[in-house]
A and B are shown apart, each in its own frame.
Chain A
Amino acid sequence: MCIFTKRAIPYFIILISTLTTYANPASDIIKKANLAKHYAGSNLKTRIAMLVYYEGAKKPNKKIFNYIKKDVKNGGKQKYFLYFTYPPDIYKTAFIVHKHINTDDYRRLYLPASQKILMINGEKKQCPFMGSDFSAEDITGRHEQMDNHRILKEEMYSVTSEKQRLHYQTYVIESIPKIKEENTSKTITWVDQKTFLPVRKVFYDHFSEQYKIYKAILIKPINGYPTIIKSEMLSPLEETKTVFLLDVKNTYYNTDIPDNLFEDSSLRSPPKELINFNQNE
């Protein structure tokens, strides 16, 4: 009986912590935000322009890539395929991510100039993505169970978009990683109460400095799903900024996307019908 009790203790702790997580309204809000931002539709195919601004540059570094994601399980495992089409020197660069919840992600990068497929460390999700201010985790999302969340307040958040002032009634949530992380000590997220999309997120480092600030600039419904059309990530310490711009005319939810697109073989030669968009639009 005594042995049984001892063995049961860890399971009991896990059960209690899981129940506490789910009972926490802050966790629930972050979960909904995660679902709204990263799991809208069973799959998504779009084209994104990524503009990196930095001090001293005459014009931003511009990259365009096709972004295809497919959910294996809603709120769980996902697969991503990113295919770069601009500028010409990185044309055909491809990136596969199999996002897992409890284990490391599977990531492969193909660089056509050297014709190499590189295995990328799945642990380091917070490393910058293709020289931008966004990390891989910002693009593929972070599971709510990785942090302890609490609601700080509710407030009206305003942002200027296309010469318009947009106002969002938001929940302000503080999230602290359960396991200490290399870059982030905590984040504060402003979640829109209407769409549950995160409209602002501030990342703090271990020096308690804001090292990244995310803003959703423009949100529009596409196929009934509220979609972030324009967003930016500012790095105050780095003095850089990256803007993500979605090509609305080439954004499709719930299309037919085969599973084999997310295999290593697709890195070198992805199916043309999936990577070709209408360039004139």
Chain B
Amino acid sequence: MNDPGIYFRDSWIFTGKRMKNRLVIFCHQIVIALLILIYTVALTSTSFSQTTGQSEISHQTSRATPEEFKKYQKAKTAILLDVRGKSELRFGKIENTINIPLYILENNYQQLPKDKLIITFCNNGSRSFFAYEILVRNGFKKVKHLNIGVRFSKDGTFEVP
């Protein structure tokens, strides 16, 4: 205990073989830390680009095209949600569609299934967009909106210009 050499041999400034070993360990630690850092950065940038990509994709694909609308109307594989008022159905109603007026949808979206694609539509594209927003806000992931107004006819035919 009285020998100051022992004290110095144990200290971190000690030079010699032990110091070499410590340096090697230190270097290893730095390398590992760097690797972790690089990995984290790479992971973050990848997930960021993925998120950006997804948002861009969802941004683009949230709109249903007239062709898609017609296809699903025939195939009956999606819920085509007409958000016009009840009285507007007098101007025409499309087969294989359901009507929930926008003002009712705000409080009654729960009756719609979340696992099926829903396409909202109306006669000018603004109410369908609001309906889309309501559904997305409430956890519906498979939703699209027809941003073009549908022209209805009393005989059930329709036009999507």
Interface residues of A (CB under 8 A from B): 52, 54, 57, 61, 89, 109, 111, 113-114, 116, 118, 120-121, 124, 127-128, 130-132, 182, 207, 211, 235, 237-240
Contacts and interface: CB of A to CB of B under 8 A. Distances in A.
Contact of A121 (B90, B125, B132): B125
A132 B127 CA distance: 11
B87 A118 contact: no
Contact of B123 (A114, A127, A238): A127
Interface stretch (B20-28, B44-52, B98-106): B98-106
Contacts of A124: 123-124, 149
A193 B86 CA distance: 36
Given A89-B137, A132-B103, A238-B101, A109 B126 contact: yes
Contact of B133 (A54, A61, A114, A121): A114
Question: Which 10 A/B pairs are nearest by Cβ-Cβ distance?
Answer: A237-B87, A131-B102, A124-B124, A131-B103, A238-B85, A238-B87, A120-B126, A127-B124, A121-B124, A52-B103
Given A121-B149, A131-B106, A131-B130, 5 more contacts: A61-B103, A120-B125, A121-B125, A131-B101, A240-B85
B87 A113 contact: no
Contacts, number: 67
23 contacts: A52-B103, A57-B107, A109-B126, A113-B137, A114-B132, A114-B136, A120-B125, A124-B123, A124-B124, A127-B123, A127-B124, A127-B127, A130-B130, A131-B101, A131-B103, A182-B91, A207-B90, A211-B87, A237-B86, A237-B87, A238-B85, A238-B101, A239-B86
Given A61-B103, A131-B103, A132-B103, A116 B59 contact: yes
B149 A111 contact: no
Interface in B109-161: 122-127, 129-130, 132-133, 136-137, 147, 149
A113 B136 contact: yes
Find the residue from B91, B125, B126 having the highest chain A CB count within 10 A.
Answer: B126
| Chain B facing A: main interface SS | helix
A85 B135 CA distance: 20
B126 A127 contact: yes
Which of B101, B106, B132, B137: most chain A Cβ within 10 A? B106
Contacts of A54: 101, 103-104
A12 B125 CA distance: 40
B65 interface: no
